[in-house]
């Protein structure tokens, strides 16, 4: 008999066309002879998690799609997953380096093959509608001396902020702790507080979010070779991050790191002739707009906005940081209401996408996960406590830079996907190398 539980639904902002997954991998030291104990703990934690948040065991479907209408995303039961652990186990001992080798190398992309570690499609590569889209996939990849625990969350169900909370709840379950009733209530909530724009109001500009309809695009889209736009990790130490914050007079360390990165990347491109003269560059930055929507910060659903900032080569760091903060503040309640209204009332929501008008090789997209406290979260005795590293694995190219969760030492790691020429320009830039260490 199928489930009769009423799942929470994505709401208006969950209608952005993301037929793909947010993916993150945590590395743990787990002895080879402790795998059975670890596996049992993971399964028990998964069952506890989905008992509290049943929709995490569900799947995303599109209801009412036609040749001219996008339909609506919905979260429904996934019969294959009902009453079962979400954890998929794989022995990768012969497929991946050992835990000690990965840790010693600071967990570079080259040692974290996404084709081995995850079975889902990353951001930018939509999965075909002919296969199920589970909300949450947890993959336990055992390697010599360790575990690479991958979490893939369907973006319609939860954004990265929501996924971060889901992972911390999973850690709570591994620590045999009870969930806060307020976390459970908000985590199972269907959003209902956004007031749509009326006919008498002028909608907020949604610049950078418009693109041609994708209804006739056939998926899956071709995946370019990883060598065309390799992913590379760079590390800004805690001390350097603090210095950049002071130097830039930024509101936050996140602003400082973002400003330093986009300023440097833009400058090296301009010096190499990729940008012409004072050609403007647009940065699009992902941010949670829970507060602007009237949601609790415990709300787990997809609730992202995208402020745009226009930049010019050779602009000083203080000016860049100040402009980033100014444009972020422009993402207000009016913006959230306008975006939600457009997605709810337009028959074709595929026309809205973050970074929709990004010019490959010129404009920049940054998504920060720096606030996620994953490195400072204990996952219980069976996992060896705290993760040794948190990473995005080496997946298909996408023109975006991720700022990873801070390490336990407060270091800031950036995952940058760009051309080999751009990486070479960055690695030869004295100012970049002064603050950022190449990891690979």
Taking the domains of the chain in order of start, what are their residue ranges? Answer: 12-188, 224-370+396-439
Q: How does pLDDT run across 412-439, given as a tens digit for each residue?
A: 999 999 999 999 999 999 999 999 999 9
Domains 12-188 and 224-370+396-439 share a fold: yes
Pick the range with the lowest mean pLDDT from 69-78, 106-115, 228-237. 69-78
Percent of the residues in the chain that have a pLDDT greater than 70, as a whole number? 97
Report the pLDDT averaged over residues 340-365: 90
Higher pLDDT, 413 or 4: 413
- The helix (H) or strand (E) run that includes residue 43 is helix 35-52
pLDDT of residue 354: 85
Asked if the model's pLDDT at residue 160 lies above 80, the reply is yes
Confidence of residue 126 (pLDDT cuts 50, 70, 90): low
Distance CA 75, CA 50 (A): 14
CA 340, distance to chain mean position in Å, is 20
Asked if the model's pLDDT at residue 130 lies above 90, the reply is no
Higher pLDDT, 207 or 418: 418
For the chain, the average pLDDT equals 94
Q: What is the pTM of this model?
A: 0.95
Report the pLDDT averaged over residues 366-386: 97
Contact indicator for 368, 283 with CB cutoff of 8 Å = no
DSSP 113: B
Distance CA 162, CA 121 (A): 18
pLDDT of residue 1: 42
Classify 12-188 by CATH class. alpha beta
Provide CATH code, domain 224-370+396-439: 3.30.559.10
DSSP 292: H
Distance CA 29, CA 157 (A): 30
Terminal Cα-to-Cα distance of the chain (whole angstroms): 50
**β 412-417/146-154 pair status:** unpaired
């Amino acid at each position: 008999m199928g489930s009769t539980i009423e799942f929470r639904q994505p709401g208006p902002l969950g209608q952005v066309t993301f037929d793909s997954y947010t993916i993150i991998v945590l590395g743990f030291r787990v002895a080879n002879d402790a795998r059975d104990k670890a596996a049992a703990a993971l399964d028990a934690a998964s069952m506890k998690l989905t008992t509290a948040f049943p929709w995490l065991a569900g799947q995303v479907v599109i209801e009412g799609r036609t040749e001219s209408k996008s339909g609506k995303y919905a979260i429904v039961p996934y019969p294959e997953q009902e009453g079962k652990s979400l954890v998929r186990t794989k022995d990768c001992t012969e497929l991946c380096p050992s835990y000690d080798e990965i840790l010693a190398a600071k967990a570079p992309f080259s040692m974290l093959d996404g084709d081995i570690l995850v079975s889902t499609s990353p951001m930018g590569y939509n999965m075909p509608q002919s296969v199920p889209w589970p909300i949450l996939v947890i993959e336990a990849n055992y390697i010599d001396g360790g575990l690479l625990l991958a979490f893939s969350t369907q973006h319609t169900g939860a954004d990265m902020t929501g996924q971060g909370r889901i992972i911390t709840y999973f850690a709570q379950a591994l620590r045999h702790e009870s969930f806060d009733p307020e976390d459970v209530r908000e985590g199972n909530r269907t959003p209902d507080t956004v007031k749509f724009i009326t006919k008498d109001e002028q909608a907020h500009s949604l610049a950078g979010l418009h693109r041609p309809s994708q209804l006739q695009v056939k998926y899956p889209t071709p995946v370019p070779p990883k060598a065309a736009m390799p992913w590379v990790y760079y590390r800004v130490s805690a001390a350097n991050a603090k210095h950049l914050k002071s130097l830039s007079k930024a509101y936050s360390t996140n602003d400082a790191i973002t400003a330093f990165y986009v300023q440097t990347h833009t400058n090296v491109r301009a010096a190499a002739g990729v940008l012409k003269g004072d050609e403007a560059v647009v940065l699009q930055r992902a941010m949670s707009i829970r507060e602007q929507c009237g949601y609790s910060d415990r709300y787990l659903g997809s609730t992202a906005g995208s402020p745009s900032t226009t930049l010019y080569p050779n602009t000083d760091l203080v000016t860049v940081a100040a402009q980033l903060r100014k444009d972020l503040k422009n993402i207000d309640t009016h913006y959230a209401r306008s975006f939600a209204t457009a997605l709810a009332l337009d028959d074709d929501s595929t026309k809205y996408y973050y970074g929709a008008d990004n010019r490959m090789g010129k404009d920049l997209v940054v998504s920060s996960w720096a606030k996620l406290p994953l490195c400072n979260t204990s996952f219980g005795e069976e996992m060896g406590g705290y993760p040794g590293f948190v990473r995005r694995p080496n997946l298909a190219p996408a023109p975006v830079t991720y700022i990873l969760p801070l390490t336990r030492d407060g270091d800031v790691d950036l995952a940058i996907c760009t051309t080999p020429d751009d990486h070479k320009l960055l690695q030869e830039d004295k100012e970049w190398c002064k603050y950022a260490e190449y990891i690979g």
